[in-house]
Amino acid sequence: AVDGGEKGLNAYIHVSGEEALATAAEVDAIRSAGGAEAEALHPLAGVPIAVKDLIVTTGQPTTAGSKMLEGWMSPYDATVVEKIRTAKLPILGKTNLDEFAMGSSTEHSAYGVTRNPWNIERIPGGSGGGSAAAVAAFEAPLALGTDTGGSIRQPGAVTGTVGTKPTYGSVSRYGAIAMASSLDQIGPVARTTEDAALLHELIAGHDPKDSTSLPDEVPAFGEASRNQSVEGLRIGVIRQLQGEGYQSGVLARFQESLDALKAAGAEIVEVDCTSFEYALGAYYLIMPSEASSNLARFDGVRYGTRVTPEEGPLTIERVMGATRAAGFGEEVKRRIILGTYALSAGYYDAYYGSAQKVRTLIQRDFDAAFETADVLISPTSPVVAFPLGEKLDDPLAMYLNDVATIPANLAGIPGISVPGGLAADESGAELPVGIQFLAPAREDARVYQAAGALE
């Protein structure tokens, strides 16, 4: 009764057979020949990878989960794709997502829903549900995701996989279709922290094609992930990210993780981030505002789909209107309307301006918290994977899934979600719980070190 490929999971929008096989054969040939070329192969050479369909690729279509880009082929590769091609990771295909990465369940895709491999009646998280489901279902050992408000970490949490949102600016955004440019970041999805760290190390680094790219050297994340000692590490529990709205099973697993970290020698402290109360509100103003501006490029002229009105004069405005009416889904339209409203003259200070002030307060909360703690910890998602359809008609309920992940995007700091066991929800279904670690900007290595201790 389940539609879609891969036994109904529908993690992929596009599967690339030939390209992946050719790359794998090439790596095989180099390895068998031995010598300097084999020695020089990247440690991940030959390891297959799936790419979220928000990241552009030559030779494989990119849809962003939207009808707007149906059949569109990018004329260039994203910088991260260039890097994985140079390192010879076979690209298995493009994974499903909420349209233009807007959502927390992958139900807002124009190419069908993705199902959670743990229970196919449940959501795989979003927007990167396809990447997470592919890795969880052993359809790919590695995947790339993007995280604007949690789209790598929350799908990671509900599918029992590992996902990292790197420090803002540390991985090039060139070729990631922009959602909210001041929040977006590409990152790794994997089954272990070490795999995630190795992929992170490969894709990070300065890129002159991204004006917000940091000039930093790439730290040895792989090595950090192998140093799983938390002896003496101060781990701060964020008081505001637990309690109301969090399922009891999620909180029980969270407490067990704290106990395990303490037993491993970590010092558990409590920190307050009082302005987090306003994080969700600020995010759902800033994100739609930036998205409404970014999505203006889909005008029926420059990219993909064009719909011409059946009657009346053929003006640019009418073509644009007909194209957007047909090409964008409901959630995308909702956010464009929210964003253009928040940015309109007269409302700008009240909405966008206030949201930016909240953003500063959240940054200050993090600065203060990182004076008493080396890393911070919280559940990644307040709930385990919920039933398909449950929150589809209730945008606010859907947005509430992001409470714990959004602050890191607003502050630009790194975060990881790692599996923290299974918990039952109200219906008794046992599903994965994710534990989130956060570190100061540019200290991504710390999240691998701390998260590794839970494996």
The single residue of 52, 67, 94, 391 carrying the catalytic annotation is 52
How many angstroms separate the CA atoms of 252 and 181, rounded?
36
* DSSP letter string, 360-413: HHHHHHHHHHHHH-SEEEEESSSS-PPBTTTTTT-HHHHHGGGTTTHHHHHHT-
Identify the H or E element spanning 229: none
Question: Is-catalytic flag, 151?
Answer: yes
Q: Are 155 and 135 within 8 A, CB to CB?
A: no
402 part of the interface to ligand GLN, by CB under 6 A: yes
How large is the angle between the packed helices 193-203 and 444-452, nearest 10 degrees?
160
Of the CA atoms within 13 Å of residue 346, those in its CB half-sphere come to 1
Nearest approach, Cβ of residue 142 and ligand GLN (Å) = 19
**Shortest reach from residue 16's CB to ligand GLN, in Å:** 23
Find the residue with minimal CB distance to ligand GLN. Answer: 151
* 102, 133, 261, 451: residue in contact with ligand GLN (rule CB under 6 A): 102
Q: Which is nearer to ligand GLN, 165 or 442 (CB)?
A: 165
Q: How far apart are CA 290 and CA 148, in angstroms?
A: 11
- Under the binding rule (CB under 6 A), the answer on residue 187 touching ligand GLN is no
Query: Is residue 179 involved in binding ligand GLN (CB under 6 A)?
Result: yes
**Do the bridges between strand 91-95 and strand 49-52 make them parallel or antiparallel, or are there none, so unpaired?**
parallel
The per-residue DSSP string of 173-205 comes to -TTBPPSSTTT--EEEEESSHHHHHHHHHHHBS
Considering only residues 103, 124, 339, 414, which one is a binding residue for ligand GLN as defined by CB under 6 A?
103
Contact flags string 197-236 toward ligand GLN, x per CB under 6 A:
----------------------------------------
- CB 31: neighbour CB atoms within 10 A? 13
Local structure of 145: helix, strand or coil: strand
Binding mask 143-172 for ligand GLN (x = CB under 6 A): ---xxxxxx---------------------
Q: What are the phi and psi torsion angles at 368 (to 5°)?
A: -65, -40
* Binding map of ligand GLN across residues 106-145, x = CB under 6 A, - = no contact: --------------------xx------------------
The residue (of 146 and 305) whose beta carbon lies closer to ligand GLN is 146
Tell the smallest beta-carbon distance from residue 307 to ligand GLN (Å): 26
Judged by CB under 6 A, which stretch of 98-106, 222-230, 299-307, 445-453 contacts ligand GLN? 98-106
Contact residues for ligand GLN, defined by CB under 6 A:
101-104, 126-127, 146-151, 179, 287, 402
Indicate which residues carry an active-site annotation. Answer: 52, 127, 151
